[in-house]
């Protein structure tokens, strides 16, 4: 007796993927468009930019392969060391100051006081305000005929040219950055403070703990995840500072005497003013490497002080 077998068609690619991915198939399927966008507009430009960093390209001529010349220039260009120094100063001043002030404001706004909703909104307005508008207002306030100098001269003091002085210009811009971005951290800290259980505070009060003890031993440890998040985001954002520097520096040139030039600003100058795309790309990847190292260090250190990361 002869047995006839029916051959099934081979599974399609779609069926193979569904079989291999199992229950996660539809999850991956729906995030695929987002992954494609990241690949097309993030990963591919990153790869192309890395290739450009090994060339001498002025946009108007064909790229010339120069091997590691652009990266070697990072160690010999005096302007590069200057702008990196300015950037680290900008970051080391703005991040701790922003964290301290925003935490203090969040603690104040976490109390039951009248007009609380107004103050919470008011502190967040600078965050959503356009950097160009913020810069224009502060340049006017700090100018020779601005409110600050008018007040000082009325009291018999000399006017302060904060944005024209090489010793104070970068500090002034950094403080404006702290003022503008303060509200973002306030919102994060407020959410963290409101997530602290009231039962723990009440129990500590019953045991005789004062306000300082409650904050040190209960509130502060429980909000360390929020502190960690804002610290990481603050370092990343400050090291990429550009908009306020461009709009507030003397004649938009990072002056006076490069006193306010940051790495982000210098990258823009090399790319779009000096037409040195290769060197601009090398600067970008050097900055990215520094950001990556600092983020990894922060991530490794989190286990020592962030609550719940033991």
CATH number at residue 284: 1.10.3720.10
pLDDT of residue 113: 76
The position carrying tokens 């392969």 is 65
pLDDT of residue 28: 77
Q: How many domains does the chain have?
A: 1
* Residue 275 covered by a domain: yes
The position carrying tokens 């973002």 is 184
CA atoms of 191 and 212, how far apart (whole Å): 20
Closest CA to 241 of 219, 259, 265: 265
* Residue 70 covered by a domain: no
* Residue 286 covered by a domain: yes
pLDDT of residue 2: 54
* Residue 202 covered by a domain: yes
- Can you give the pTM of this predicted structure? 0.86
Beta-ladder partners of 64: 56
DSSP 22: G
What are the phi and psi torsion angles at 303 (to 5°)?
A: -65, -20
pLDDT of residue 232: 95
* Residue 6 covered by a domain: no
Do residues 305 and 97 make contact, with C-beta atoms less than 8 angstroms apart?
Answer: no
Give the range of the structural domain holding residue 280, as residue numbers without chain letter. Answer: 77-305
Beta-ladder partners of 51: none
Do residues 244 and 134 make contact, with C-beta atoms less than 8 angstroms apart?
Answer: yes
* Residue 266 covered by a domain: yes
pLDDT of residue 20: 66
* Residue 220 covered by a domain: yes
Crossing angle of helices 78-109 and 116-128, in 10° steps, is 160
CA atoms of 117 and 120, how far apart (whole Å): 5
Of residues 42 and 282, the one with the higher pLDDT is 282
Of residues 8 and 112, the one with the higher pLDDT is 112
What are the phi and psi torsion angles at 77 (to 5°)?
A: -80, 115
pLDDT in tens, 59-111: 888 899 999 999 999 999 999 999 999 999 999 999 999 999 999 999 988 88
pLDDT in tens, 123-138: 899 999 999 999 999 9
pLDDT in tens, 187-226: 999 999 999 998 988 898 888 888 889 999 999 999 999 9
pLDDT in tens, 10-42: 767 667 666 766 667 777 778 889 989 988 888
> Parallel, antiparallel, or unpaired for β 55-56 and 64-65?
antiparallel
Do residues 278 and 63 make contact, with C-beta atoms less than 8 angstroms apart?
Answer: yes
């Amino acid at each position: 007796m002869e047995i006839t077998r029916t051959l099934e068609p081979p599974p399609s690619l779609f069926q193979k993927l569904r079989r291999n991915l199992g229950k996660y198939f539809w999850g991956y399927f729906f995030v695929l468009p987002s992954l494609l966008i990241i690949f097309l507009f993030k990963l591919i430009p990153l790869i192309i930019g890395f290739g450009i960093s090994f060339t001498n390209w002025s946009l108007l001529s064909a790229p010339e392969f120069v091997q590691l010349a652009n990266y070697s220039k990072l160690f010999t260009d005096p302007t590069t060391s200057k702008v990196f120094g300015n950037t680290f100063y900008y970051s080391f001043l703005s991040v701790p100051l922003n964290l301290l002030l925003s935490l203090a404001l969040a603690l104040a706004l976490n109390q039951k006081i009248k007009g609380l909703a107004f103050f919470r909104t008011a502190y967040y307005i600078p965050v959503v305000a356009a950097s160009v508008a913020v810069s224009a207002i502060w340049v006017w306030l700090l100018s020779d005929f601005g409110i600050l100098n008018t007040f000082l001269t009325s009291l018999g003091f000399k006017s302060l040219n904060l944005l024209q002085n090489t010793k104070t210009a970068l500090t002034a811009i950094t403080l404006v950055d702290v003022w503008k971005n303060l509200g973002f951290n306030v919102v994060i800290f407020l959410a963290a403070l409101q997530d602290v259980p009231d039962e723990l505070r009440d129990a500590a009060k019953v045991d005789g703990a004062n306000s300082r003890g409650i904050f040190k031993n209960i509130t502060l440890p429980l909000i360390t995840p929020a502190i960690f998040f804002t610290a990481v985001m603050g370092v990343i954002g400050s090291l990429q500072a550009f908009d306020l520097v461009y709009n507030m520096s003397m004649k938009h040139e990072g002056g006076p005497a490069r006193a306010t030039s940051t790495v982000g600003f210098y990258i823009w100058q090399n790319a779009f003013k000096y037409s040195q795309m290769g060197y601009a790309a090398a600067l970008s990847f050097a900055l990215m490497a520094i950001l990556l190292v600092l983020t990894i260090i922060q991530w490794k250190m989190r286990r020592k002080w962030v609550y719940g990361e033991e």
